[in-house]
Structure 1
C-alpha cells in the first residue's frame, strides 16, 4: 500500500461516497429501522446515563447500581455499586433462557483437529477449571497469566477467571522468552497457564520450555498448568507443574460465580509504550463486558443464530472484545482457529468460512490484503454466500482493499464495518452499525453509541471538517482504560496530560462532512504491524543489545500486505563490519527480545544519523528518504545536512541491489 500524501488523502476523503444498506436488510437488523437506531444514537450522546442504564438493564444483576455514571476523565466509574458476574452474563444467562444445546464454541486446530461445545458443555468446563484455580488457593483479585495459542482451553481459562473475579492477562504465544519474562515480572501472577506446544505453519512452537525459562526467579509464580496439545516431551517440575487434563478429571462441576462490583478490575493487557516499556492496561471486568455486549450487538448486528469468527490471536485484546465478550454476551457461536489463515494453502481462510457457514467475520485489513495478493482463484471452489457482515480493526483499511472485499469476497452482498479502537479503549468508539448506517470505503465510521469523539488542535480546540488533528475522547465509556498496572502517574501522563479533561489517543484523524472519521496514523513512535502494536523504542532497544551495534533507529514504512513494516537504520561500533552475518544477528536479537513480527523488513547500515543539535534522531527524515527517496519536509532542525546525502545514497544502493 503506497504512502498517501496529505493532499492526496484529503482528495480521496472528499471523493469517497456513502453506500446505503438495502431496505430489506435494514428491516432484518437488530433494531429494524434507521430511525430506531438514530434515536438510540441521539439518546446515547445527549443523555448517556439513561442510555447506559437501558443497555445494562438487559443483563443480569445480583444487586442494582446506585448511580449510572460518576466522576470525569481520568477518574470515573459506571454502574456504581452494581454487582453481577461477567461469566454469568456470558454463559449462565443463556442457559436460563433455554440455550443449553445451542453451540457456544467451535475450535479448529491448524492440523484440522476440532472440538465443539454447547453453552451447557462450556458452562461445565468453565466451572471445573474455576474449581482448579480455587484448588491453588486463588480468590478474587489474585492473578493468572495465560500463555496459550487459540485453543478451546484458552477460552475456558479466561471464562474461569471471570467467574472467580481473578485478574488475568493473556500473552501472545509468539513472544520470546524475554518479552514474556518482562511482562510476568511486572504482573507477578500466582499461576501460569500454558501448553506443551502449539502449531504455526506446520512448525511446533515450544511454549512450556519458554515458560520454564521465563519464570525462573519470579517468586510469585507457584503453579503452572499445562495443556497437552502437541504431545512433545517436556520437563514437568514436581509440585509446581500440573497437566490440565489431570486436574480437570478431578474437578467438580459446581462453582457459583463470584459477585463483582461493576468497576472492579478484571483484565490486564500489555501494550507497547513510547518509552519502550510495555504498559499494563487495566480494564474493569463487568463494565468491559457490558460495553462490548452493546458494541458487539450493533457493530456486528448479532442475532442468536450467528456463526461468528474473529481471526485475532488471544494474545491481543481484539479477541477478547469480539471473540469472547462481544460474542458470548450476545449468545452467538464463536469460532477459535489456532493457525495461520493461509496454511497449509492460501484457501484455508475460505475453507473455514464455508465449512462452518460463517456469517459474521471480524478480521484485520492485513488479512484482506493478503487474500488480495493471492487472487480470486483460491476463493472460487467455495460457497461463501453465507457471509453477511465483515468488520475490521487494526490499521487503516485502504479503499482499494475495501472494494475488493465488498465485490470479490462479498459479491456486493455484505456489510463492511471498518472500525477504530485501541487496547486502551477496548472496543471501537468509531464504527458503523451493521446494516443500518451507510458505509464509506476507507473511513472508520461515525462516533458510536455513548462516545464523544473529536478532532482537535494542540490546544484542544475542535477543528473544522476535513482538517487533520489529534483524535481525542471527551467523556468516558464503560470499557475505557481505568489505570496502568502499578503506574498510576504514567496513566495520567500518557493519556490525559495533553488535552485537559480528555483521553488523548496519540492518533491523527480527520472528520469529514458526513460525520465519518478517518484515522491517519500514529502521532508518536508506536505503529501497527499487521494489527500488532509495536514500539520503535522497544525494537531499537533490542537491536542495540546486539553485539557491535552502537545506535539504532526504527521507522514504520507502508507495506501493501501488512500496512506498515519496521525498517531499521543501524550504526556499528568500530571494528564491526556490515554484511549478511551482522544483518542476521540484528534480526535474531529482535526475535529473541520481542518476536518475529517485529523483525525489520530492511536493515540499513550507516555511519551517520540525521540528528538535531541536541542529539535526537530525526526519524521523520529517515522515513521520507525510504518512502520518497528525498527530503520533502523541514530540515532546519538538522545538525549535519551531509548525513542526509549519505543515508540517501545507502538507501538507493540497497534498493538497486534488491531489484537486481
Structure 2
C-alpha cells in the first residue's frame, strides 16, 4: 500500500458537528444496528404497503435467497398511490424538473400518480403484459419517472438504455432483452445541442424483430408542431396516456419476481443484464434513501445523476418516492450555459440535499471559489457522493465551501443500493472512506485463499449475509451469475473490488481487483498509484492505466489534470510537475511502479454520470484510438483532446 494511502487511512475520524446532527435519527439507527439482518429487513418490509401479508421472511442463502414468500405488493403503489391517496401528501411536489434550455415542470404526487396510471393502462392497450420487457430510451425527464412506475404498476420488466447510447449499443440491448415496446424521447438537449434519440432508435429497430411498438415522448414539441411525423408502429406518449385515461389498478406481485434488468459490461466483452426483484429493490432502495439522505419536511433532493445510472432509480425514482421525498431532476450538462448552472438550480428550487459522483465536486472546484461565493446555498444540508474514489482535497474543499456534511457511499449495480457509508446526521466521517456497513449488511475482506485479513491489510471485499436488494440473476444466463459472483469465494458474494478496513472499522474501497497490474512480477493496483499522484498539490484529477511492455509485461501510465496556480492564470510548469510526480511515485511505491509516461490533459473522457473511462485512455495509448463503444461518453470532444495530447507526447 502506498504511503499516501496508508497515511490517509490512518487519519482520525471527524466527529459530526453539532449543527449537522439529526438527534432523532440516533436512537433509530442504534435500534436498527442491534437487529439481526433478517429482523432488520422485516422492519423495513413493515414500512411498505402490502396487499397480501408474507408467511416466511427468508429462504435460501446469498446465491439463491428469496424474501417474504407468500406476500404480494406493488412498487408503484408504494411510491405513488400511498402518497397520492393521503390528503396531507397528495399535493406535495413529487418531481421538480428543469430542462437544459431552462423550461421547468412540477408534478405533485397526485398528478404523477394520475399520469402514471394512464400510461400504464395505455401500455396494456398496446399489448404489454406482465413479464414483458419495456425498454426506456430516455434522458432525465418526468416521463422517465412515469414510464418506470407504469411498468412497475402492471408488472412489466423495464430496462433503461442510457440516452447517450448510439445505434449499435441500443440495438444490442434491445435484442438481448427481447423488448416488445420502447419508450423514447424524440430528442434531448445536451450542451446546447439536440441529440436525436428517435432517429437513432429507428436505425436500430431494423435489427430488433421482437420490438412491436414505440412510444414517443414529444420533448422538443416537434410532434405537436407536425415537424416530425410518426411511422407505422409509433405512438405519441400523449395518445397512449389518452387511450389509458381510465387508468388501471396496481397488479399485486410476488416480491421475488423480476422488476427490471440493467445492462452492465464491467470488464467483460458481453454486457450483463443484471436482474433485480420487485420487493427486494423496493425495500433496499427505501432503506438506502432513508439512511443516506433521510427525509425531513421541506426537503428537495436533487439526484444529480443520469437515469441510466442505477443510482437514479435507487435514490430518486424508487427509493426517493417510496420515502415520499420531493425529487429535483435536471436534463442537461452542469456547465451549460455557464459554470454557475449547478448553483442556479440549487437556488431556484431550494435544493436541500444533493447526490452526485465525486467528479461533480471536482468540477465545481475547478470552476473556482468566486463562482461558489457568488451563489450561496443556505438551504443546502447534505451532499452525498458515490461511484468514484473521493480524494481528500476535494472532500475538504466541498466541506469548507458548502458547510454541510459530505457523505461518501459505496455500492454496486449488482447490490442494488449503496450499503456502506456514514449515516446522515448521525455518524462520524473520515475523508476518503465509505464509512461502515449500514444495517442489514455484513462484509469481510479476504486474502486470495479466502481467509480474513486483519485491519490495515488490503484484500478482496465480499458480502457475507443475504440481503433483498442483491441482484437475483443475469438475464438468460444464471450460470454466469453464479460463476461471476459466487464462484471464487463460495457462500459469499464477491464484489471483485479490493478494499481495506482501518483500525476504526471504516471501509476503504481501493478499486477493481482486475485493475491490479503486474509490473515485472510485482502486483500493484492502479488505484494505489493514483493515490500517490493525486497527493501532489498541483493535481486535481488523475487516472492510471496499465499498457503492454515488451520487457516488463505491463507498465503504468498516468493521465493528469492540473490545478491552475492561484493568481497566475495558468498551469504550473509541466516539466517540473512531471519530474515531481515521477519522484513521488518511486519514493512511495518503489522503482517498479515508475510511470512510463505522464500525459497532462485539461479534460478526460467520462460517462454522463461522471466516471472516468479508463478503458478509452488505455485504448488511446495502445491503439491511438478507441476500439470499443464510446456512446456512453459525456463529451466526445474530451477524447479528441486526449488523443492529441498522446500524439504530441
What TM-score, normalized by structure 2, do the two folds share?
0.82
Distance 1:138 1:434 in 2: 41
- Residue 110 of structure 2 corresponds to residue 120 of structure 1: yes
- The aligned counterpart of 2:133 is 143
Q: 1:17 matched to which residue of 2?
A: 12
Of residues 75, 88, 94 in structure 2, which corresponds to 1:86? 75
Shift of 1:65: 1.0
Select 1:523's aligned residue among 510, 513, 518: 513
Distance in 2 separating the partners of 1:214 and 1:13: 48
Take 2:346 and 2:432, find their aligned partners in 1: how far apart are those partners?
24
Equivalent pair of 1:176/1:595 in contact (CA under 8 Å): no
Checking the alignment, whether the CA contact within 8 Å between 1:565 and 1:600 is kept in structure 2 is no
Looking at structure 1, the residues matched to 16 and 167 of structure 2 have their Cα atoms a distance apart, in angstroms, of 48
Are residue 77 (structure 1) and residue 71 (structure 2) matched?
no
Match of 1:185 among 150, 175, 179: 175
Deviations 1:455-476 (A, max 9, x none): 1111221111111111110112
Q: Deviations over 1:156-212 (max 9, x none)?
A: 101101111110000110011111111111001110110111100001001001101
Report the Cα offset of residue 604 of structure 1: 7.9
2:576 aligned residue: none
Q: Matches of 2:621 and 2:16 in 1, distance apart? A: 54
Partner Cα separation in structure 1 for residue 267 and residue 647 of structure 2: 33
Is the Cα contact below 8 Å between 2:357 and 2:611 reproduced in 1?
A: no
- The equivalent of 2:282 in structure 1 is 289
Contact preservation (8 Å) 2:387, 2:611: no
2:45 is matched with which residue: 42, 53, 56? 56
Looking at structure 1, the residues matched to 49 and 152 of structure 2 have their Cα atoms a distance apart, in angstroms, of: 15
2:193 aligned to which of 190, 203, 211: 203
Number of aligned residue pairs: give it. Answer: 565
Cα shift at 1:275 = 2.3
Alignment match of 2:294 (pick from 301, 307, 311) = 301
- What displacement does 1:70 show? 1.1
Cα distance change, pair 473–592 in 1 and its aligned pair in 2 (3 A): closer
- C-alpha distance in structure 2 between counterparts of 1:402 and 1:191, whole Å: 43
**Equivalents in 1 of 2:495, 2:268: separation in Å?**
16
Q: Contact 1:64/1:83 (CA < 8 Å) preserved in 2?
A: yes
| Aligned-pair CA distance for 1:570 | 6.7
CA-atom RMSD in angstroms: 2.8
**1:565 deviation in Å?**
4.3
- Whether the aligned pair in 2 keeps the contact of 1:557 and 1:564 (CA below 8 Å) is no
Alpha-carbon shift at residue 286 of structure 1 (Å): 1.9
> Does residue 506 of the first structure (1) align with residue 502 of the second (2)?
no
Q: Does 1:353 align with 2:346?
A: yes
Q: Cα 1:557–1:183, aligned 2, differ >3 Å: closer, same or farther?
A: farther
Deviation at 1:376, TM superposition (A): 1.4
Distance 1:558 1:10 in 2: 23
Mapped to 1, the partners of 2:166 and 2:113 lie a distance apart of 33
TM-aligned CA distance change 1:203 to 1:570, over 3 Å: closer
Q: CA deviation at 1:250?
A: 3.4
Indicate conservation of the 8 Å contact 1:177/1:592, yes or no.
Answer: no
TM, length-normalised to structure 1: 0.81
Q: Which residue of 2 aligns with 1:608?
A: none
Between stretches 455-464 and 263-272, larger displacement belongs to 455-464
User: Counterparts of 1:115 and 1:571 in 2: how far apart (Å)?
Assistant: 45
1:426 maps to which residue? Answer: 416
The 5-angstrom pairing of residues 526-605 of structure 1 reads: 557=558, 559=560, 564-566=612-614, 567-569=617-619, 586-587=625-626, 590=628, 595=633
- Alignment counterpart, residue 33 of structure 2, candidates 36, 41, 45: 41
1:329 maps to which of 314, 322, 326: 322
| Higher alpha-carbon deviation: 591-600 or 338-347 | 591-600
Match of 1:393 in 2: 386
* Structure 2: segments with no counterpart, 5+ residues: 517-525, 531-542, 549-553, 562-602, 604-609
Shift of 1:592: 6.2
Q: Distance in 1 between matches of 2:318 and 2:12?
A: 33
SS of 1:94 mapped into structure 2: helix
**Residue aligning to 1:650:** none
1:215 aligns to what?
Answer: 205
Match of 2:481 in 1: 491
